[in-house]
Amino acid sequence: MSPYAGHRDFENPSPVRRNARKRHRRGQSELIGDAVRKRTIPLARGVNAS
């Protein structure tokens, strides 16, 4: 699956939403890695909880 897979990205052109979708596709472990790099650990916990 390509990181841009699916027509939903085009339906929702918001870059913030698209990035969130891409991160979800990559998997939680990668998402946690991004959170640590960006120092947004509380946000990562919220995403993992849901």
Tens digits of residue pLDDT in 4-42: 555 555 555 555 555 555 555 556 666 666 666 666 556
12 inside domain: yes
Sorting pLDDT into bands at 50, 70 and 90, what band is 49?
Answer: low
Distance, CA of 32 to CA of 27 (rounded, Å)? 9
17 inside domain: yes
Distance, CA of 9 to CA of 40 (rounded, Å)? 24
* Residue 38: per-residue pLDDT: 65
How many alpha carbons lie under 13 Å from residue 40 in its C-beta half-sphere? 11
Number of structural domains (the chain) is 1
Residue 17 is part of which domain span? Answer: 8-49
14 inside domain: yes
Q: Are 32 and 48 in contact (CB under 8 A)?
A: yes
